[in-house]
Amino acid sequence: MFLLVFTLSFALSLALPAAHALPAEVHVSLFQANNNLSKLIIDGPHSTDSSGTSSGGHCEFFIDKNALVSKERQAVVRHFSGRCVVRGTGGPLLLSDGNKQRRYRGRFVITIERGRLHVVNVVDSKSYITSVVGSESLPDFPLEALKAQAVLASSVLARHSGSGALGDTTEIQAYLGSEYERPLAKQATDAVFGQELKNKNGFTAAVYYHSTCAGGTSDARQMFSGKAQKGVAVNQIKCDYCQASPFFKTHSVTIPVAQVKAKLGFLPIAVESEDWQKRPMQIKVLKADGRSAQISGYEVWLKIGQKLGWDTAPGMRYNFENSKKNFILHSSGAGHGSGLCQWGAATMARKEKNYRLILKYYFPDCTCTAAQ
């Protein structure tokens, strides 16, 4: 699944105080979208911390009576004391949860958490960033746009350093494994590795990116809080570069009101405040108990995506109308609309703007420098 459309790189706190060098290794929790991971399949030559010797090409990990157990193709069964480390001995390994399968470099720490398997991939920073660039970008995006994406991925990683494992979903930034280390993504990462965006105080900047702004970006501090920040300079950029995106034009869907109420647990009834790009900040909703409440536009948008499907309102610039029977939803753009517009960056690159000019356009108060 291509995750560029629904990039939600929003989870990092805006208050982290310092700049950090990139870590040598990155810890990433895999299969986060699987809330009930009960079996993990590994294919490829590997070794485990229990044997230290290379084993065959197929192994299954599962939970048996609250214990971590593995079974190899040769019917060899091993029990682990709650934790197992798997290392590839012949390149990337193919991992599967029984539904999705992807190849990953590095080693894997497998444990049991809250009754499910928990898998953490430990991989070198350059391979991680290269995969993120490929995971978050279309294959035909130009090199300079990919360089800009690599700097942003590095900035996200630098700010997260020391804060535990990253996830593999777009909640922070998509990481889909070694098969997304496309040649151009690798070239881009090699060219800018170690660079990150710094704010005017010299700290690693909180950066965000999304697919298509469809005319202009919104300030993240307003977007994710649902209200304007008084006295704070906002990052709002007019963008005419993403018109080639399939998500630039307004997208409309009609859904039965009863279905909206049943799946969301409320019915949006009025947009009460918007930002300069008409992205809703606060929405009045009618709850199941008949009472009204205010919810941030961002929270409503997330709920719509999670419960009604992300293609229902691809972009955070949305509005709606209600009749007795139908809820009609209009949206433009794709993603939350804050920070770098990826389709805009691609067009700028095609117009021979280099990655530093692209980053300066979307982050005018930041400077691209080497990590300290």
d(CA 131, CA 83): 26
Query: What sign for the dihedral angle of Cα 309, 327, 216, 14?
Result: negative
pLDDT recorded at residue 222: 87
Cβ–Cβ under 8 Å, residues 5 and 314: yes
Last residue of a domain, one of 124, 155, 185: 124
The pTM of the full predicted model, rounded to 2 decimals, is 0.88
**Which domain does 62 fall in, by range?**
25-124
DSSP string of 114-159? Answer: TTEEEEEEEEEHHHHHHHHHHHSS-TT--HHHHHHHHHHHHHHHHH
The answer to whether residue 115 sits within a structural domain is yes
Per-residue pLDDT of the chain (372 residues; tens, 9 = 90+): 333 333 444 333 333 344 457 889 999 999 998 888 999 999 999 888 765 555 668 899 999 888 899 888 766 777 887 889 999 988 999 999 988 999 999 999 999 998 899 999 999 999 999 999 999 999 999 999 999 999 999 999 998 877 788 989 888 899 999 999 999 999 999 999 999 999 988 889 999 999 999 999 999 888 888 876 554 446 889 999 999 999 999 999 999 999 999 999 999 999 999 999 999 999 999 998 999 999 999 999 999 999 999 999 999 999 999 998 999 999 999 999 999 999 999 999 999 999 999 999 999 999 998 755
Kindly report the backbone phi and psi dihedral angles of residue 17, in degrees, each rounded to the nearest multiple of 5, phi listed first.
Answer: -95, -15
Instruction: Indicate the residue among 124, 148, 180 that finishes a domain.
Output: 124
Q: Could you give the number of structural domains in the chain?
A: 2
Domain assignment present for 190 = no
Q: Please state whether beta strands 116-124 and 25-30 pair in parallel, antiparallel, or not at all (unpaired).
A: antiparallel
pLDDT value of residue 190: 97
Tokens 């699987």, residue? 34
DSSP 295: E
191: closest CA among 346, 356, 353, 352?
356
- On whether the CB atoms of residues 331 and 5 are closer than 8 A, the answer is no
CA angle, residues 234, 238, 242, in degrees to nearest 5: 130
Report yes or no on 87 lying in a domain: yes
3-state percent breakdown (helix, strand, coil) of the chain, nearest 5: 25, 35, 45
Q: Is position 75 within any domain?
A: yes
**Residue 161: inside a domain, yes or no?**
no
Note the residue count of the chain: 372
At 35 the pLDDT is: 84
pLDDT for position 7? 43
Angstrom distance (rounded) from CA 229 to CA 87: 48
pLDDT for the residue numbered 345 = 98
* Residue 18 resides in a domain: no
Tell me the residue type at 256. P
Q: Is residue 338 part of a domain?
A: no
Tell me, yes or no, whether 320 lies in a domain.
yes
